[in-house]
A and B are shown apart, each in its own frame.
Chain A
Amino acid sequence: QKEVEQNSGPLSVPEGAIASLNCTYSDRVSQSFFWYRQYSGKSPELIMSIYSNGDKEDGRFTAQLNKASQYVSLLIRDSQPSDSATYLCAARSGYALNFGKGTSLLVTP
Chain B
Amino acid sequence: SAVISQKPSRDICQRGTSLTIQCQVDSQVTMMFWYRQQPGQSLTLIATANQGSEATYESGFVIDKFPISRPNLTFSTLTVSNMSPEDSSIYLCSATPIGGSEETQYFGPGTRLLVL
Contact = CB atoms under 8 A, between A and B. Distances in A.
Interface stretch (A12-20, A52-60, A94-102): A94-102
B43 A96 contact: no
A88 B42 CA distance: 8
A92 interface: yes
Contacts, number: 46
B42 A43 contact: no
A101 B109 contact: no
A95 B38 CA distance: 22
A99 B103 contact: no
Interface residues of B, number: 20
A46 interface: yes
Contacts of B110: 42-43
Interface residues of A, number: 20
A43 B108 contact: yes
A46 B100 CA distance: 14
Contacts of B109: 42-43
Q: Is the interface of A mostly helix, strand, loop or mixed?
A: strand
A10 interface: no
Contacts of B108: 43
Contacts of A80: none
Given A44-B43, A88-B42, A97 B105 contact: yes
B45 to A, nearest CB: 5
Given A46-B106, A96-B33, A101-B42, 19 more contacts: A32-B103, A36-B107, A42-B110, A43-B108, A44-B107, A46-B105, A49-B103, A49-B104, A51-B103, A88-B43, A92-B103, A95-B48, A95-B96, A96-B45, A96-B48, A96-B58, A98-B45, A99-B43, A99-B44
Interface of A: 32, 34, 36, 42-46, 49, 51, 88, 92, 95-102
**Which 10 interchain pairs have the tightest Cβ spacing?**
A101-B42, A43-B107, A99-B43, A99-B42, A32-B103, A43-B110, A96-B45, A44-B107, A43-B109, A95-B31
